[in-house]
Amino acid sequence: MRLVEHFIGGQKFSGTSSRRGDIFDPNSGEIQAQVSLASAEDIAHAVTVAKSALASWATTNPQKRARVMFEFKRLIEDNMDELAHILSSEHGKVIADSKGDVQRGIDVVEFACGIPHLQKGAYTEGAGPGIDVYSMRQPLGVVAGITPFNFPAMIPCWMAAIAIACGNTFILKPSEKDPSVPMRLAELLMEAGAPAGVLNCVNGDKTAVDAILEHPDIKAVSFVGSSDIAQHVYVKGAAHGKRIQAMGGAKNHGIIMPDCNMEQAVKDIVGAAYGSAGERCMALPVAVTVGQKTGDEFAERMLDAAQNLTVGVSTDPQAHYGPVVSAAHKAKIENYIQMGVDEGAELKLDGRGHSLQGYEQGFFVGPTLFDHVKPDMRSYQDEIFGPVLQIVRADTLEEAALLPSNHQYGNGVAIFTSNGRAAREFASQVNVGMVGVNVPIPVPVSYHSFGGWKRSAFGDTNQHGTDGVRFWTKIKTVTQRWPDGDVGDQAFIIPTMS
C-alpha cells in the first residue's frame, strides 16, 4: 500500500515513529494509502534542518526570493491537473472545486512575488539634528503552519508562500486526511529553486501539533481549523512565547432582503451552501429571510434548486459536489440533521442515506434544507460543516442583522439587496469580519487579507495580504547620526552618564 512519508531537507523522510494513519478515497470509502504520523523527535529533526537552511535563505536578497516564487507559481500552474486529481482523490471535491482550491493558492504565491516591495521598511530623514530614522522588516526565523483538510492547496500557500518569501524557513503540518497535495507542493518549491530545508512537510496528529507549539526554536505558528483547537493552539503557543494566528470555525449568514434579485440570490446561495459539500469555513449555511413573503418565496425556490443538484463522484463533470471527507464526518453531519428535526425545525429536504450505485460505501450526504430554524437551536448555533442549509426568518433588517452579530462565530456574512444605503449601513455595523454585498462567499482576494472575528479567529493579524507580511516579519528600527570629522580610533562609543 502506498505510504505518504514526510518531506524534510528536500527529500522524503520516513521518520522515527511507526504510527500510521489511513488515507481514504471518499468516493468508495476504501483505504487507498497510509500516512506516517510524526513523533516529537521528527518535529525536532525538521526544526534542525530548517535552522541550518535559515541563515543563507534569510540573507538571500528579496529579488532572488521573488524569482523562486515566480517559478513556483509557474510550476503549480503547469501541474494544475495533477494537483487537482490528487486533491479530489483524497478530499472528495469535484475536479472543478479542486482546481479552484489550487488557483486560490496560486493567487497568494503571485502576491508573494511582490516581496521586494512588500518587505520594504520606512525612512525619515532629519528626525532630529543630523539624525535619520529607518526601519526594516526581517524574517522571524523557523516558523510553522498547521493546515486543515478542506483546502489542502490554498491554505498551505496562504502561510508558506508569504513566510518563505519573507526569508523564513517553514515547517508545514498538513491534515493527515489528505496530505499528498502539500507534499507535492513542497517538491515543486524545491524544483523552483528554493534550497533544501526551506520548506519541510511533517505529517502528523496532535502529537506533532503539540511538539510544534512547544519547540523553543519555532518562532511563529499559523493555524486554520475548528475553533476549539484554534483556541488551544493560541493559548498553548502564546504560553511558549510564540507569535500565533489561529483561524477557527464559522456559521456564515446570508440576509435575503425583499428587494433583492431573488433568482440571483437563490443561484448564489445554492452554490455557497452546497458547493464542496459545505466543507468550507466560508460556506453560507444560514439564510435569513426578511418578511414572510420573502421567506416563503425563498424557501420554495431554494427547495427546487437543491432538489436539482447532482451529487456524484469527484471525477464526474456533471456533479455539483462530491462526498465529504470521512465516514466520521458524514456521521457527524447526519447527527446534526437529526438534531434539527428533534429541535423542531422543518426538514424540507433530507440528505441522509444518500447513496450512489457502485459507490455504496462512499461518504455521500445529499443536499439538506431546513426552514423555520430558531436561534436557540443548537443545530443553528454549531458549525455543521456539511451540505445543510438552514432558513431563519426575521421581520426586519435590524432583527436579521442581530443574528450574525450575536452569533459566537464571526467569519463571514452576506446581504442580498438592491438598496445601497441598507447595504452600506449593514456592512459598517454588522459584527463580522468579512462582508459580502450580493456576494455569497466574500473571501478577499490575495492582496487583501482573510480573517474573521469572535471565535472565528484568535490573534491580532489576518491571513495573507499585507497582514501576512506583518505576521511573518519583525520590525527593527535604527536611529542614526554621523558625527562631523574623523573619529579616529573611537569607532564606536557608548554614551555614559558621566
* 257 and 333 within one domain: yes
* 259 and 196 within one domain: no
| Residue 486: inside a domain | no
Write out the catalytic residue numbers: 281
| Residue 260: inside a domain | yes
| Residue 492: inside a domain | no
* 179 and 115 within one domain: yes
What is the pLDDT, as a whole number, of residue 484?
A: 78
Q: Is the dihedral of CA 109, 110, 113, 118 positive or negative?
A: negative
| Residue 389: inside a domain | yes
* 58 and 175 within one domain: yes
| Residue 484: inside a domain | no
* 154 and 8 within one domain: yes
* 271 and 333 within one domain: yes
| Residue 386: inside a domain | yes
Residue 439's identity, in one-letter code, is: V
* 313 and 381 within one domain: yes
Per mean pLDDT, which range of 187-191, 383-387, 445-449, 489-493 is the poorest?
A: 489-493
* 168 and 38 within one domain: yes
pTM across the whole model? 0.94
* 149 and 64 within one domain: yes
* 262 and 228 within one domain: no
The values of phi and psi at residue 432, to 5°, are -145, 150
Domain count, the chain: 2
Mean pLDDT over residues 480-487, rounded? 76
Domain termination site, one of 437, 466, 493: 437
DSSP-based three-state secondary structure for 240: coil
| Residue 176: inside a domain | yes
The model's pLDDT over 177-194, given as tens digits with 9 standing for 90+, comes to: 999 999 999 999 999 999
| Strands lying side by side in the sheet with 30-36 | 2-4, 30-36, 20-25
What is the pLDDT, as a whole number, of residue 496?
A: 62
The values of phi and psi at residue 440, to 5°, are -75, -30
Tell the residue number behind the cell numbers 431563519, with chain if given.
392
What percentage of the chain carries pLDDT values higher than 70? 97
Residue 493 predicted with pLDDT over 80: no
Enclosing domain of residue 180: 2-248+456-478
Q: What is the DSSP string of 100-145?
A: HHHHHHHHHHHHHTTHHHHT---EEEEEETTEEEEEEEEE-SEEEE
What is the pLDDT, as a whole number, of residue 327?
A: 97
The model's pLDDT over 398-409, given as tens digits with 9 standing for 90+, comes to: 999 999 999 999
* 192 and 139 within one domain: yes
Mean pLDDT over residues 292-302, rounded? 98
* 267 and 184 within one domain: no
The model's pLDDT over 46-104, given as tens digits with 9 standing for 90+, comes to: 999 999 999 999 999 999 999 999 999 999 999 999 999 999 999 999 999 999 999 99
Average pLDDT, the chain: 96
Q: Could you tell me the CATH number of the domain that includes residue 165? A: 3.40.605.10
Mean pLDDT over residues 450-457, rounded? 96
Q: Could you tell me the CATH number of the domain that includes residue 336? A: 3.40.309.10
Residue 490 predicted with pLDDT over 70: no
Domain termination site, one of 387, 409, 437: 437
